[in-house]
Amino acid sequence: MTGFASALTNSNSYFEALALAEQRALHSFFDQHIIADDELGYIALDEGDYNALPDHLAGRVVHTVHGAMLDEF
């Protein structure tokens, strides 16, 4: 039973991070990454805050939402 509750919490954490990443991506030139974190579950991270992601973060990326703003105008 505890394992199921933990999985449910991680699932909610993932979908919350995904919603945030999708919302941010609409107004950003940078990719938005969802990172797996042992303590927090999943978090959304803006690539613009880190330039190239450090190795310790890049290895924990589970999903990326590409930035939707274009710099062509």
Structure confidence by residue, pLDDT tens digits, 18-36: 999 999 999 888 899 999 9
**pLDDT for 1:** 31
* Burial letters 31-66, b for 16+ CB under 10 A, else e: bbbbbbeeeebbbbbbbeeeeebeeeeeebeeeebe
What's the pLDDT at 53?
83
Q: Enumerate the β-bridge partners of residue 65.
A: 32
pLDDT digits (tens, 9 = 90+) for 33-62: 999 988 889 999 988 776 778 888 889 999
In order of 5, 18, 31, 73, the CA distances from 49 in angstroms are: 33, 18, 10, 24
**Measured distance CA(63)–CA(73) in Å, rounded:** 28
